């Protein structure tokens, strides 16, 4: 099946806004194996929209129109589609009564102008709108089915779930495409590709996509078919990729974040964390505390931007700063154990580096970052991990990747500790 999407609204032709509804529709079409032939954005013009709808109705089997169903004069979708398909517009008093009731429920009277929303295309099925006034419509003409949706995203979403998705599912006879996502932090794309190589051969290269951004990679595995076999295949792919990529995988699912996963591990371990940040200036703490309930494990942190504060807040010896400079392994280590001890947490993490654009030198070029992680203080020894890296990119990207690596070091450490603990309890 071939499809076309038409977004209606002059505001979508300006320089401030893009049509993003089509991304949601595309995901759905893709899932049901429908080929999207084109997308168009049309202003509030009856002629222009009618021409587009007429052209597409002759070329594809499914046309999805979003927007232009409101009550005002610049809402032209009803009229344009009627003209394009040579259909009458029929007034439905019951639709208007429903809109009147909706207004009444907010204690308001329906403005006269909303009567326009009572007109449906002759022969159209009405799609009830639980979230707004504009009803949607479904109409079939020749070999083409047209869906008219409101442009407001959450009203559109309601109608997608209630009507479009079931319609597509019925047409595709249960056949669909579906994906799982595995997320990996701080491993180079080439290394991920090498590790998962066997899965390409087992499942087909085209079924697995690697999407990379600085410090984070998403593996997207896609399966097609009827529900049972599709789910089974998806689970097999997920399991195999997880096996090949090993503990580099921090999440299975689009919604999970690295800071969320680290938080959950801390919570399970009953452990607390503090952070000492220099070049990231609070970004790491901000990400950790973006997770609701993070006060259960995150006590707080120190943004030690100046050398003086590195000494005052987390006890870095001035001699160490004088001897090695703020961006150095000894200072990073001292910051990590220092913040842990000064603020009284189980774990302490630190970041110090040159985020640029200024401040770089031949010895410590822009992008040089030292990260250290101090674990719970043990009798007689202190276990502080350290990594030195050089990140590419601008200030924002360097800071982001620094926070990302600090979180990933924490995650690996907490996993290891959890593993050791469960082995210990099993023996």
φ, ψ dihedrals at 143, nearest 5°: -95, 15
What is the torsional sign of CA 288, 294, 296, 299?
positive
Of 166 and 293, CB closest to a copy of itself: 293
Residues with Cβ within 8 Å of residue 108, at least 6 apart in sequence:
none
Render 111-160 in DSSP notation, one character per residue.
Answer: PGGGGGGGEEETTPEEE--SSSSPPEEEEEETTEEEEEE-SSHHHHHHHI
- Residue 295 and residue 283: Cα distance in Å, rounded? 16
Residue 383's closest CA among 336, 343, 321? 336
User: At its nearest, how many Å lie between a copy of itself and the CB of residue 285?
Assistant: 3
Q: Which is nearer to a copy of itself, 120 or 219 (CB)?
A: 219
In the complex, minimum distance from the CB of residue 42 to a copy of itself, in angstroms, rounded to a whole number: 5
* Nearer CB in complex with a copy of itself: 17/101: 17
Which residues are near a copy of itself by CB under 8 A? Answer: 12-16, 18-20, 22-24, 26-27, 30, 36-43, 45, 48, 51-52, 55, 211, 275, 277, 279-286, 288-290, 292-295, 298-306, 308-309, 312-313, 342-344, 356-358, 395-396, 399
Q: Least distance (Å) from a copy of itself to the CB of residue 341?
A: 12
Residue 243 CB, nearest distance to a copy of itself (Å)?
26
Q: Specify whether the backbone of 325 is left (phi greater than 0), alpha (psi in -120 to 50) or beta.
A: left
Q: Which is nearer to a copy of itself, 25 or 121 (CB)?
A: 25
Q: Which is nearer to a copy of itself, 13 or 128 (CB)?
A: 13
Beta bridge partners of 297: none
In order of 63, 64, 73, 120, 135, the CA distances from 126 in angstroms are 16, 15, 21, 8, 7
Q: How far is the CB of 299 from a copy of itself (least distance, A)?
A: 5
Closest to a copy of itself by CB, 365 or 419: 365
CB 195 within 8 A of CB 247: no
Residue 85 CB, nearest distance to a copy of itself (Å)? Answer: 18
């Amino acid at each position: 099946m071939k499809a076309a999407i038409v977004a209606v609204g002059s505001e979508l032709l300006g320089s401030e806004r893009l049509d993003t509804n089509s991304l949601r529709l595309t995901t759905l079409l893709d899932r049901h194996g429908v080929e999207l032939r084109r997308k168009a954005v049309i202003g509030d013009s009856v002629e222009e929209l009618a021409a587009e709808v007429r052209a597409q109705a002759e070329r594809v089997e499914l046309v999805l129109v979003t927007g232009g169903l409101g009550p005002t004069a610049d809402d032209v979708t009803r009229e344009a589609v009627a003209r394009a398909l040579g259909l009458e517009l029929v007034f439905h008093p019951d639709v208007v009564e429903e809109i009147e009731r909706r207004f009444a429920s907010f204690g308001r009277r329906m403005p006269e102008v909303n009567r326009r929303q009572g007109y449906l295309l002759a022969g159209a099925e009405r799609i009830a709108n639980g979230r707004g006034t504009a009803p949607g419509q479904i109409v079939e003409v020749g070999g083409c089915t047209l869906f008219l949706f409101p442009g407001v995203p959450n009203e559109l979403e309601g109608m997608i779930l209630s009507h479009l998705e079931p319609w597509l599912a019925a047409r595709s006879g249960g056949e669909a495409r579906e994906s799982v996502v595995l997320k990996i932090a701080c491993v180079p794309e080439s290394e991920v590709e090498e590790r998962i190589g066997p899965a390409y051969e087992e499942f087909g290269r085209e079924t697995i996509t690697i999407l990379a951004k600085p410090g984070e990679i998403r593996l997207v595995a896609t399966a097609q078919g009827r529900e049972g076999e599709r789910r089974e295949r998806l689970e097999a792919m997920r399991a195999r990729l997880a096996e090949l990529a090993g503990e580099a995988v921090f999440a299975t699912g689009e919604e999970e974040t690295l800071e969320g996963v680290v938080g959950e591990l801390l919570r399970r371990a009953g452990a607390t964390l503090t952070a000492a940040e220099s070049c990231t200036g609070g970004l790491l703490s901000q990400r950790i505390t973006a997770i609701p309930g993070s006060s259960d494990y995150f006590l707080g942190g120190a943004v030690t931007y100046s050398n003086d504060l590195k000494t005052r807040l987390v006890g870095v010896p001035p001699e160490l700063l004088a001897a090695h400079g703020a961006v150095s392994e000894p200072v990073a280590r001292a910051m990590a154990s220092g913040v842990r001890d000064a603020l009284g947490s189980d774990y302490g993490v630190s970041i110090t580096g040159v985020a640029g654009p200024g401040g770089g030198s031949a010895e410590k070029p822009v992008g040089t970052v030292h990260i250290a992680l101090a674990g719970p203080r043990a009798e007689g020894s202190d276990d502080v991990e350290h990594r030195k890296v050089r990140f590419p990119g601008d200030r924002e990207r360097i800071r982001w990747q620094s926070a990302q690596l600090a979180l990933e070091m924490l995650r690996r450490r907490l996993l290891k500790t959890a593993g050791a603990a469960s082995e210990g309890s099993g023996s």
